[in-house]
């Protein structure tokens, strides 16, 4: 609208009010998790990794806990042996890694597998990504067993089994081997000595240094205050 003098009347604009986005509720998170698990469950049934079979009975009551039957690959130290893998999924899956461990009567004897079934595998903890899946974990475990050159337990097996949490994800693993490539895919898995063992070793080294330091101080004090008699 033009005012006298040819001036245009400016229209007053109301400030735009932005409503905060509501966070996703527990129901939405659970629905997303279940949708993802249904998709992976179907993929595992239709196209399982070599030597892997989903135990159908394990998913009849709950979709958040699976058991996968596994057979050792031909030409490896575990050829013909049968194992079982237990998968447990939290409500934050796939952003939170699944809890994976060997279960049943036969636990493979391997440098990265403890006698209680816990597995030292970095993609189950710090190297986990939402882009990974149950099939990815299965392939990594197959690769880990197939590349084994000697059947033996981790050096800290007895101590770890006595002191560890039932949930292997509660363990602070230490990985110190470089990446290894197998079956055309790169999997990082370390020898995984339990952190408690390494902490104990560091404390013992510190104690030994402290004792040596105290002895040196005593020698210096004695030398300083020794009275020479003629």
> Pick from 98, 94, 95, 150: which is nearest to 119 by CA?
98
Catalytic residue among 120, 138, 148, 186: 120
Paired sense of beta strands 99-103 and 82-88, if any: antiparallel
Give how far Cα 209 sits from Cα of 114, 125, 130, 195, Å. Answer: 32, 34, 45, 21
Q: Before 177, cis peptide (omega within 30)?
A: no
Active site residue 120: yes
Report the run of H or E that residue 180 belongs to, with start and end.
strand 180-182
As a whole number of angstroms, the distance between CA 71 and CA 101 comes to 15
Compute φ and ψ for 172, nearest 5 degrees.
-90, 95
Give how far Cα 181 sits from Cα of 16, 54, 59, 150, Å. Answer: 55, 26, 32, 19
Compute φ and ψ for 98, nearest 5 degrees.
-75, 160
- Whether 115 and 107 have beta carbons less than 8 Å apart is answered as yes
- Contacting residues for 23 by C-beta, under 8 A, at least 6 apart: none
Instruction: Output the six-digit token pair for 97.
Output: 């890694």
Catalytic residues: 120
């Amino acid at each position: 609208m033009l005012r006298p003098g040819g001036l245009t009347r400016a229209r007053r604009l109301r400030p735009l009010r932005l409503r905060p986005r509501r966070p996703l509720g527990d129901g939405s998170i659970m629905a997303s998790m279940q949708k993802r698990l249904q998709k992976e469950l179907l993929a595992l049934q239709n196209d399982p990794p070599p030597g892997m079979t989903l135990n159908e009975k394990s998913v009849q009551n709950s979709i958040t806990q699976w058991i996968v039957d596994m057979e050792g690959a031909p030409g490896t130290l575990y050829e013909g042996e049968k194992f079982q893998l237990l998968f447990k999924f939290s409500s934050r899956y796939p952003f939170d890694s699944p809890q994976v461990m060997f279960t049943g009567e036969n636990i493979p004897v391997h440098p990265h597998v403890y006698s209680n079934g816990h597995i030292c595998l970095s993609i189950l903890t710090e190297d986990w990504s939402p882009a990974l899946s149950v099939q990815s974990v299965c392939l990594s475990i197959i690769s880990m067993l197939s590349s084994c050159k000697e059947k033996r337990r981790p050096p800290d097996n007895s101590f770890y089994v006595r002191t560890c949490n039932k949930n292997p994800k509660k363990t602070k693993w230490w990985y110190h081997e470089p990446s290894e490539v197998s079956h055309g895919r790169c999997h990082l898995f370390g020898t995984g000595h339990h952190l408690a063992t390494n902490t104990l070793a560091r404390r013992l080294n510190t104690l030994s240094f402290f004792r040596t330091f105290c002895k040196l101080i005593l020698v210096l004090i004695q030398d300083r205050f020794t009275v020479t008699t003629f």
